């Protein structure tokens, strides 16, 4: 419930600040994930982000490619979520032309996600 004397922006700042404080405290207080679990995750998902290099070095599985398909998939995911949300909003508001544009973009970005998810991480797969 938004208090009438406090603007929405301050509520948003308090909510974002509070949740950020919570995840920082939980991150600092809890023990790190077991290395064996991280290696198993790496071998199954094969993330190509630079932060995974220490885990990749401990795994017998060869590193994934350059990571460009991951970046394309990530960007397509952003487009999918936002155009899908705006598309449904436009349908609710009965703005048919805008809804068609947004939902078409959502379908196309969804196809990009499926295509990048199906690509093998390296030539041996």
Neighbouring residues of 72: CB distance < 8 A, sequence distance ≥ 6: 112, 116
Q: pTM of the entire structure?
A: 0.58
pLDDT tens per residue across span 2-45: 566 777 888 899 999 999 999 999 999 999 999 999 999 998 88
Mean pLDDT of the chain: 87
Q: Given phi > 0 = left and psi -120 to 50 = alpha, else beta, which region is 34? A: beta
pLDDT one-digit tens code per residue, 46-59: 877 778 889 988 99
pLDDT tens string 83-125: 999 999 999 999 999 999 999 999 999 999 999 887 765 544 4
What Rg, from alpha-carbon coordinates, does the chain have?
A: 21
Tell me whether residue 109 is exposed, middle or buried, using C-beta atoms within 10 angstroms of its C-beta: 0 to 12, 13 to 18, 19 or more.
buried
């Amino acid at each position: 419930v938004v208090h009438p004397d406090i603007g929405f922006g301050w509520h948003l700042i308090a909510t974002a600040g509070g949740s950020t404080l919570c995840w920082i405290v939980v991150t600092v207080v809890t023990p790190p994930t077991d290395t064996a679990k991280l290696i198993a995750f790496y071998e199954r998902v094969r993330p190509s982000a630079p932060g995974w290099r220490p885990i990749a070095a401990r795994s017998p599985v060869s590193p994934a490619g350059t990571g460009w398909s991951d970046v394309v998939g990530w960007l397509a995911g952003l487009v999918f979520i936002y155009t899908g949300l705006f598309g449904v909003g436009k349908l609710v508001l009965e703005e048919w032309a805008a809804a068609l544009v947004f939902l078409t973009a959502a379908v196309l970005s969804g196809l990009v996600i499926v295509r990048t998810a199906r690509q093998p991480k390296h030539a041996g797969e």
